[in-house]
Amino acid sequence: MKISRELEAFAARLGHRFADPALLVQAVTHPSMAAGTGGHNQRLEFLGDRVLNLLIAEALFKADVQAAEGTLAPRYNALVRKETCAEIARSLDLGAVLKLGRSEMQSGGRRKDALVADALEAVLAAVYLDAGLDAARDIVLRLWGDRIVKAETHVSNAKSELQEWAQGRGMATPDYVEIERAGPAHAPVFTVEARLADGRAARAEASSKRNAEQAAAGALLKKVQADD
C-alpha cells in the first residue's frame, strides 16, 4: 500500500518504517472521517492506551529502583495523561496528518488535546502490531525521553495545594465544574474547570474526571502563582 508523502514524512519523524502502512493510515483516521466503516482509529487507540501504560510503568520501574509505589503512581499519571500525550503528538506534528471529517476540521480538531493524544495512542498500537513490543518501547522511550526521569511527583497533590493557597488568602475552597464529557463510552474525555472565588479559572482534559480535576487545579495553581 502506497501512502502519501505527508504520512511518509510523519513515519520518518516517528522513527518507524511500517511493513504494513495500512496500520498507520488507520491510526490517523478519526471516526468523523470513517463513520460506520470501521476503518477509523478507535480500536487502535484502545490497544495503544494499554501499550503506553505498560511501557511507561516499566520505564519508571527501571528508572528508579528505590521508588515506592506511592512515588511511582503520580509520576506515571503525569506521563500518560492526555496533556502529556498531546504535547508529544504536537512535537511530531501529528495533527497535520490526521484524517478528519468536515465537522471536526471546522471545529479545530487538529488542535484538540484529546484528539491528537488519542491518535498518538493509536499510532503506538500500529507500531506494536507492525513490529512488536520492542519497537513500540524504543519509540516511547525516545519520545518521552527526559520526561521519564523528571516526571512531576506532585501532580496528585495539585488540588490540595490549590486549596491551601486559597485558604491562605482567605478564599473559599476552589470549585470544580464538569464542562464537557466527550468521546466513546470506553474512552471518555472529561473537561473540567477549576474556579476560585475571585473569578480566576483554568480548564483541563483527562480520561477520568478525577484526573481532569487534578490537571485543572495544577493549571490554575501555575496561573495564580505567576500572578503573585
Residues that are catalytic: 49, 121
Instruction: Output the nine-digit C-alpha cell for 206.
Output: 483527562
Residue 192 · residue 216 · CB < 8 Å: yes
Beta bridge partners of 203: 193
Instruction: Output the nine-digit C-alpha cell for 26.
Output: 488507520
Q: Rounded CA gap, 52 and 91, in Å?
A: 17
Going across the sheet that includes 189-195, the strands are 175-182, 189-195, 201-206
Q: Which helix (H) or strand (E) holds 196?
A: none
CA 205 to chain centre: 9
CA 76 to chain centre: 12
Main-chain dihedrals φ then ψ at residue 47, nearest 5 degrees = -70, -45
Q: Which helix (H) or strand (E) holds 204?
A: strand 201-206
Q: Rounded CA gap, 205 and 198, in Å?
A: 23
Residue 75 CA: distances (Å) to CA of 38, 80, 128, 160: 35, 9, 24, 17
- Give the number of other Cβ atoms within 10 Å of residue 71's Cβ: 14
